[in-house]
Amino acid sequence: MIRHAPFMPSEGNHDVATDEGRPLLEHFVCPRNGPEGIEPERCYWFDYGDARFVALDSNMTEFGGALTPSELKNVIAPWVREVFKDCDARWKFVFYHHPFYTGSTHSAEGAAYMKEAFLDVFEESGVDVVFCGHNHLYERTAPLKQDQIVPDGEGIVYIVTGAGGVSRYPEKLPNPEYIRNYNDSVFSFTQVDLTADRFDLQQIDEHGNVIDRYKIEKAAGVQTAARGR
């Protein structure tokens, strides 16, 4: 696939096991437009069509990464706010590794440092969807705002798309109330089709079956409306 499609990576915990992830930085070419004082390509943004994407490195020095909690909160988070502030894209997406809304093996509490640094910034910036990995399964939350489930179109949807891992992790039951859909029984990947007015997500398993669908619609001049199906 890498011969035919661009890959825009964000570093995971296995990547940083070797020299804080520098082999990945050396072999992929990413925008060098990240926050001042942070090693280039760890965090970056790009526009594609009518969407702005922000990639973050969520690996702390405590666990072999290159970033401190202070850098995440005081350097990178303000940069994210400015990247989205200076933006007229209709769609706003963020992707990084460690999820702070999840109900699987790596707990949401384990990524509390990401939540503390970025939750308010994401919400104030009008982010539509956040994509994470780390847990080896698929999860989709309800729209969330300040830890509360809100009506469709009024919060951020968080996707854990880690079901391509070497093994699958179980969803811990009962799972958090905010989990709208999950699948821990089959390997799968996330496919998104995006136009100016519509976000279409399909979760597709290893046999080609669609195991979840979700869409968000944005009509011109109308507040975002979203619904799962």
Q: Is 93:121 a contact under the CB 8 Å cutoff?
A: no
Lowest mean pLDDT among 8-22, 95-109, 157-171, 214-228: 214-228
| pTM for the whole structure | 0.94
Both tokens of residue 78?
């303000």
- The stretch 76-88 carries a mean pLDDT of 95
Report residue 36's pLDDT band, with 50, 70 and 90 as the boundaries.
very high
The pLDDT of residue 223: 36
pLDDT band at 194 (very low <50, low <70, confident <90, very high): very high
In one letter, which amino acid is 44?
A: Y
DSSP string, 137-180: SEEEEPPEETTEE--TTSSBEEEEE-TTSSSPPPPPSSPPTTEE
For domain 15-188, is the CATH number 1.10.3720.10?
no
- Per the document, the length of the chain is 229
Confidence class of residue 224 from pLDDT cuts 50, 70 and 90?
Answer: very low
pLDDT average, residue stretch 19-33? 96
Q: Are 218 and 200 in contact (CB under 8 A)?
A: no
